Structure 1
Amino acid sequence: MADILYTYKGSVYANITNKCNCRCTFCIRFVKDGVGDADTLWHKTNPTKSEVLDAIRNFDFSGYDELVFCGYGEPTCQLDILLEAAAFAKKEKHLKIRLNTNGQGSVENGRDIVPELAKVIDSISVSLNAPTKEDYEKVTRPLHSNGFENMLEFTKRCREEIKDVRWSIVDVLPQEEIDRCLALSREHDIPLRIRKKT
């Protein structure tokens, strides 16, 4: 059975689904089965809400102050579980909640989900991946049309509702693309984090 909660680089992560609406060319799940202390993050079947809540309830969070929703899938593809599990972790475990997302959550769920997220999420990291629509489509390969525009709109909406919002890219991009991502970051006043490839 795949791990629902796992630790990586001093943080606790919640792996609540393997469903994803992107097929990023660099995605780590195409390279190895697990990350951090998880042998595998591939669920045979995606966990139920009660299984996720039980995992959070039974986990020893001593020394940790944050739970990050990020695994081998896009957390907003299981929005109901995400929202309830985040609320539970905040109330019962007194944790800060971060969401790592591809920014397709609103189109995936057919509505603006940002107000719902804002009630339980303290910070959001959105995968920018590329500075232009053309490059984004090549690298991210979103299943929904207008993926780049969806991601931009989602991130801007998050900035209106949630204090701590940032974009992220991986440092495998050519320097020219990194520079253009930085320019986009300045244009939209959204901080950019450049992550090292794991």
Structure 2
Amino acid sequence: MADIIYTYKDSVYANITNKCNCRCTFCIRFVKDGVGDATTLWHQVNPTLREVLDAIKNFDFSGYKELVFCGYGEPTCQLDILLEAAAYAKKEKGLKIRLNTNGQGSVENGRDIVPELAGVIDSVSVSLNAPSQKEYEEVTRPQHDNAFESMIKFTKRCREEIGDVRWSIVDVLPQEEKDRCIALSNKYDIPLRIRKKT
């Protein structure tokens, strides 16, 4: 059985689905089965809400202040479970909640989901991945049309409703693309984190 809760470095993560609406060329799930202390993050069947809640309930969060929804899938593809599990973790465990996302959640769910997220999510990290629509589509291979603009719109909405939001890119990008990502970050006044490839 795949791990629902796992740790990596100094954080705890919730792996609630393997469904994803992008197939990023650099995605770690195409390279190995697990991250951190997870044996495998590949669910044979995506976990139910009860299984996710039980995993959170039974995990010892001593020494941890935050739970990050991020695994081998896009958490907003299981929005109902994400919202209920985040609410439970905040109330019962006293944790801050971070969402790591590709920013396609509103398109995936057919509505602006940010107000719902704002009720339970404290911070959001959105994968920017590339500085233009063409490059974004080449590297993320999204299922939805106009995915780059959708991601930008989602990020801006998160800044309005949640406040603590940032973009992230991986440091394997050519310097010229990094520079344009930085320019985009400055344009929209959204902080940019440049991550090292895992």
TM bucket (normalised to shorter chain) is over 0.9
Distance in 1 separating the partners of 2:150 and 2:31: 27
Identity %: 85
Summarize the alignment of residues 33-52 of structure 1 with structure 2, pairs less than 5 Å apart. 33-52=33-52
Match of 1:146 in 2: 146
Match of 1:8 in 2: 8
Letter in 1 for 2:190: I
TM-score (norm 1): 1.00
Match of 1:192 in 2: 192
Summarize the alignment of residues 74-93 of structure 1 with structure 2, pairs less than 5 Å apart. 74-93=74-93
Distance in 1 separating the partners of 2:127 and 2:10: 21
Match of 1:127 in 2: 127
Summarize the alignment of residues 100-119 of structure 1 with structure 2, pairs less than 5 Å apart. 100-119=100-119
Letter in 1 for 2:112: D
Letter in 1 for 2:24: C
Deviations along 1:144-166, one digit per CA (max 9) or x if unpaired, are 01110110000001010012100
Letter in 1 for 2:39: D
TM-superposed deviation, 1:39: 0.9
Deviations along 1:104-134, one digit per CA (max 9) or x if unpaired, are 0000000000000000000000000000000
Question: How many residues are matched?
Answer: 198
Distance in 1 separating the partners of 2:63 and 2:4: 19
Deviations along 1:19-74, one digit per CA (max 9) or x if unpaired, are 00000000000000000000100000000000000000000000000000000000
TM-superposed deviation, 1:14: 0.1
Distance in 1 separating the partners of 2:132 and 2:91: 40
TM-superposed deviation, 1:141: 0.5
Match of 2:136 in 1: 136
Whether 2:157 is the aligned partner of 1:157: answer: yes
Summarize the alignment of residues 55-70 of structure 1 with structure 2, pairs less than 5 Å apart. 55-70=55-70
Which consecutive residues of structure 1, in runs of 5 or more, have no partner in the other structure? none
Distance in 2 separating the partners of 1:122 and 1:188: 20
Distance in 2 separating the partners of 1:21 and 1:134: 17
Distance in 2 separating the partners of 1:163 and 1:186: 16
Could you list the structure 1 runs, at least 4 aligned residues long, displaced by more than 6 angstroms after superposition.
none
TM-superposed deviation, 1:82: 0.1
Which consecutive residues of structure 2, in runs of 5 or more, have no partner in the other structure? none
Distance in 2 separating the partners of 1:29 and 1:121: 25
Match of 2:23 in 1: 23
Letter in 2 for 1:152: I
Distance in 2 separating the partners of 1:197 and 1:118: 29
